[in-house]
């Protein structure tokens, strides 16, 4: 684009900004709209979306023509920058508009059947009964390790027991639990 053409377009933008000159805007629209649309389509936009975005860019030109400064850039650069930014915004909106079909929340999970619920409740009752049968000193170690999250060293330190005793009591408690849960009849 030569200097005369640049000055011509800058004058048209001034006419739009100062006088809301529709004829000047029509000349700008007829010149830039097809170029902007072609540029957007080359950047993988669908033609309908590109046309809509061009309308937005040209609306910016109409409403904000006073913001254009020919000393800072050519009108072409200004309009294509607006189009680029609007395209990026549209892509961001589109990314958030579509649902991720692999989102775990969208997978249908079967509700557990009555038999599964019953078995779970039965197992929970067995575990509670087995825990109730553990001697107090062993249960104290299990409670500290598994319900309070203390390490064996922390339990030994807080109870004043040797570390080996703490480990032994926890091991004995688990052996008792395993025996009771493996053979719930107690045989």
Residue 102: inside a domain, yes or no?
Answer: no
**Domain presence at residue 35:** yes
Domain count, the chain: 2
- For residue 65, the enclosing domain spans 3-97
Q: What percent of the chain has pLDDT over 90?
A: 47
- Is residue 107 in some structural domain? no
pLDDT digits (tens, 9 = 90+) for 1-27: 667 778 888 999 999 999 999 999 999
The model's pLDDT over 95-117, given as tens digits with 9 standing for 90+, comes to 776 666 676 766 777 777 888 88
Q: What CATH number did the domain enclosing 148 receive?
A: 1.10.10.10
Same domain, 8 and 92: yes
Confidence of residue 37 (pLDDT cuts 50, 70, 90): very high
Residue 139 burial (10 A CB sphere; 0-12, 13-18, 19+): middle
Do 7 and 90 fall into the same domain?
yes
């Amino acid at each position: 684009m030569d200097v005369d053409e640049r000055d011509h377009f800058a004058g048209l933008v001034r006419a739009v900004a100062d006088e809301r000159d529709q004829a000047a805007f029509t000349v700008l629209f007829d010149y830039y709209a097809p170029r902007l649309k072609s540029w957007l389509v080359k950047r993988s936009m669908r033609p309908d979306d590109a046309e809509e975005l061009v309308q937005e860019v040209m609306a910016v030109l109409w409403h904000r023509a006073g913001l254009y400064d020919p000393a800072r850039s050519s009108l072409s650069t200004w309009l294509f920058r607006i189009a680029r930014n609007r395209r990026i915004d549209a892509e961001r909106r589109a990314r958030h508009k579509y649902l991720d079909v692999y989102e775990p929340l969208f997978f249908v999970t079967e509700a557990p059947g009555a038999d599964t619920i019953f078995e779970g409740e039965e197992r929970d009752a067995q575990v509670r009964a087995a825990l109730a049968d553990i001697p107090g000193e062993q249960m104290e170690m299990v409670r500290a390790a598994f319900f309070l999250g203390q390490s064996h060293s922390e339990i030994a330190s807080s109870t004043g027991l040797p570390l080996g005793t703490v480990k032994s009591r926890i091991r004995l408690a688990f052996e008792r639990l395993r025996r009771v849960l493996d053979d719930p009849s107690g045989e």
